[in-house]
Amino acid sequence: MKHPIFIATNRKKLVYDDPETKVLADHLFHDDKFNDGRLGADELTFLKMNDDKSYFLKGSEECFKEAQDYMIKHTKNAVFFVHGFNNGWLDAINSARAVSDTHDVVVIMFSWPSDVTGLPFEDYREKKKNAMKSVGALDRTLMKLYKQLKTSRTDCEQSISGLFHSMANLLFKNSLISDGHYYSRKKIFDNVILSQADTNAKGSNEWIDLLNVRGEVYVTINEKDRPLRFSQFKFGKAQKKRLGCTLKHLDADCIYLDFTSKELESEHNFFKGFNLSIDGIHTDILNNDFDVSELKNIIPNKLYRVF
């Protein structure tokens, strides 16, 4: 069964027609520009997207209420998903669909302007700026989600977990540490996966330990991750060892999962549809059914090796 995708985005809208004109969601938003509404980068658009990519624009309260009603009716858990760098609008909605289909969850996605439009070296720096500009929009999205869950949490026994991939972790980190944005610190999620985080490993405990979850925080690691190694060595002295590709600085109060292996090689995007064993771990975490004791424990209650 294909589940609908619920989306909040601060991207600029390209199409303003009524959905009855049959314009599909994959042509709806700009790849690389912010919303041009009154609040600029903080301006949000909410929508529900069906499997055929037909869509319905929603108010924030209506959007999240429909998501929760769907969870209850179909007994499905939800995942709040934020994608990383080099994701145009079509890439983003396709990733959200892959997460939903692979892990059998209802996806609520926050999407920000992150597509590569020029040389990767130059564009990477620009998209880091876009991530920073999107902190307010992410926090506003989490505020609206938190208020909906707080209103009707007792009616919903399903879990909701967070999945932040690559540069999304830079966005999430700055939402957590900012004095002006504090909904990231609310107890919204059962579990959180910080997937192949494109942030400095050193000092990461200072923001990871601000997370307030009912279950666990998991940091995935692949020491051979090619995009993260490129990020580490190509973008200046401020870029230290990346959290998602080093076994150093394991200082946070979380569980580190080392996926490094010949099987995975240099893969960066293994949170959706990679293979049965890796998908299974992500599925269990995102459905609040993961037993880490089945893995090889390298550092007691801290670092676990998958292969």
- Per the DSSP assignment, residues forming a β-bridge with 220 are 257
pTM: 0.95
Q: What is the pLDDT of residue 236?
A: 64
**Per-residue pLDDT tens for 279-294?**
999 999 999 999 999 9
- pLDDT higher than 60, residue 118: yes
Residue with the two structure tokens 């959200």:
96
Residue found by looking up tokens 């879990």 in the block: 159
Q: Which two tokens stand for residue 57?
A: 């624009």
Residue matched to tokens 């059962």: 190
Of the pLDDT bands very low, low, confident and very high (cuts 50, 70, 90), residue 24 is: confident
- Give whole-number Cα distances, 136 to 16, 50, 69, 236, in Å: 24, 27, 27, 26
pLDDT in tens, 66-78: 999 999 999 999 9
Architecture of domain 59-84+98-305: 3-Layer(aba) Sandwich (3.40)
